[in-house]
Structure 1
Amino acid sequence: MAICNKNHRYNPQFDELSPAQGGDGRHKCAGCAYDQGRDDGKEGRNANCNPDSLPESQAGTIRHKNVNEAYALGYQHGVAERGNTKKA
């Protein structure tokens, strides 16, 4: 699996995510999970976090963070963005 090198690995918003030291999503990129959730929310797709599809990362603020929680946060933000777009 690829290793994430995107700058979102250092985004301070991920400091608030719960730690996840094991299980599904271990060493996966919570930033990529957030982006995936945000895209799904903006596009109106069903929420479906798949940790196996995420690149690995142990860098920055996303190190050992809960990818399912990151996805859900991104999804929530994406849905909100979609709602704002419809009002325009």
Structure 2
Amino acid sequence: MTTCNKEHRYDPYFSRLPKDQGDFGRHKCAGCAYEAGYQKGMKKVTAIDMVTEFASLPESQTDSVRHKSPYVAYAQGYADGLFNSY
């Protein structure tokens, strides 16, 4: 599995996300999840397979994204992308 090296790992925005150390999505980068959701929202995608989406996300346990919910990050990214698509 790849490891995220993007600067969003240090973005304090992600500190507000709920903690999540569940099985599915464990250690996935919340910043990358947000970006993936944002892109789907911008395209107004209506059917999303979360298993497939999360399979391609890199892992990260760095700073602001450590143990943060990739589900919530993805959903917030989707909502923001959808909003900005108008």
- TM-score w.r.t. the length of structure 1 is 0.88
Cα pair distance change 1:47/1:36, threshold 3 Å: farther
Instruction: Kindly provide the CA deviation profile for residues 26-45 of structure 1, in whole angstroms up to 9, marking residues without a partner as x.
Output: 11101000000000000111
RMSD across aligned C-alpha pairs, in angstroms?
Answer: 1.1
Gap regions ≥5 residues in structure 2: none
Quick one: which of 50, 66, 69 aligns to 2:69?
Answer: 66
Cα pair distance change 1:67/1:47, threshold 3 Å: farther
Indicate the residue corresponding to 2:21 in structure 1: 21
Indicate the residue corresponding to 1:45 in structure 2: 45
Segments ≥4 residues shifted beyond 4 Å: none
Whichever of the two has the greater Rg, that structure is: 1
| Residues matched between the structures, number | 83
Instruction: Kindly provide the CA deviation profile for residues 4-56 of structure 1, in whole angstroms up to 9, marking residues without a partner as x.
Output: 00001111111110001221111110100000000000011126333222101
The structure whose RCO (Cα within 8 Å, separation 6+) is larger is 2
Indicate the residue corresponding to 1:86 in structure 2: none
- TM-score w.r.t. the length of structure 2 is 0.90
Gap regions ≥5 residues in structure 1: 84-88
Q: Aligned partners of 2:80 and 2:55: how far apart in 1?
A: 22
